[in-house]
């Protein structure tokens, strides 16, 4: 499976601004081979970015999703709405969703299940805070997040999920995870995936790094 590079634009760019940036990325990425490229603009820019990348190798991702198919959930967006908007991927469990909006491991699990049913490919974010790392709890935290999010899923479904290790302490804090630190956690994640889904699935799953460099 090809390596995956995802650009999460967070709460930046209007529709027209996002379209210009997407077209620029499309031009610059034309010569890149052997890598799958994904853009995750804000919801309000999805339509414009979809037009800008149509016919290219660039894929669309959403930054969040609700676990219900529809209902009275003001301000939320469903998996079906995202697929209709052209999204192939969706980011779930981002540290900003967890720490700013109180989203739990259980909520991430419900979102993953609903996203898979809708045909979306989840990008599950996991990672520890600085305090947890200092106490030596990194893998304990990451393992808890993974086990909860993947609980009850069939092995074939787990294969469709990308895991993004994003240490909370290395996002906009001035601290960077070293290559060795990121690699150590990646190895731990793959080892846990082997226990949960078997060697073949674990080796096929893509694991990303999502912190500062």
Please report the sign of the dihedral spanned by the C-alpha atoms of residue 207, residue 210, residue 211, residue 212: positive
Give the whole-angstrom CA distance, residue 173 versus residue 44.
28
> Which tokens go with 49?
């970015």
Among residues 207, 213, 105, the alpha carbon closest in space to that of 149 is found at 105
Among residues 81, 85, 24, the alpha carbon closest in space to that of 56 is found at 24
> Which tokens go with 159?
């294969």
Give the whole-angstrom CA distance, residue 75 versus residue 77.
7
Give the whole-angstrom CA distance, residue 178 versus residue 99.
23
Burial class (CB in 10 A: 0-12, 13-18, 19+), 42: middle
* Active-site amino acid positions: 94, 166
């Amino acid at each position: 499976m090809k390596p995956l590079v995802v650009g999460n634009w967070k709460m930046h760019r209007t529709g027209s601004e996002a379209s210009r940036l997407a077209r620029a990325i499309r031009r610059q990425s034309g010569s890149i081979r052997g890598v799958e490229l994904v853009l995750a603009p804000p919801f309000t820019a999805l339509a414009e970015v979809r037009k800008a990348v149509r016919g290219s190798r660039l894929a669309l991702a959403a930054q969040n999703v609700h676990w219900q198919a529809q209902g009275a959930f003001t301000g939320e967006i469903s998996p079906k709405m995202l697929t209709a908007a052209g999204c192939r991927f969706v980011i779930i469990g981002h540290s900003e969703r967890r720490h700013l909006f109180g989203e739990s491991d259980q909520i991430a699990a419900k979102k993953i299940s609903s996203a898979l049913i809708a045909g979306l490919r989840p990008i599950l974010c996991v990672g520890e805070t600085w305090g947890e790392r200092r106490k030596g709890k990194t893998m304990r935290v990451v393992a808890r997040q993974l086990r909860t999010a993947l609980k009850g899923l069939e092995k074939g479904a787990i294969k469709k999920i990308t895991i993004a290790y994003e240490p909370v302490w290395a996002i906009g804090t001035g601290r960077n995870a070293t290559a060795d630190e990121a690699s150590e956690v990646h190895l731990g994640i793959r080892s846990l995936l082997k226990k949960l889904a078997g060697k073949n699935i674990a080796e096929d799953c893509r694991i990303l790094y999502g912190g500062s460099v």
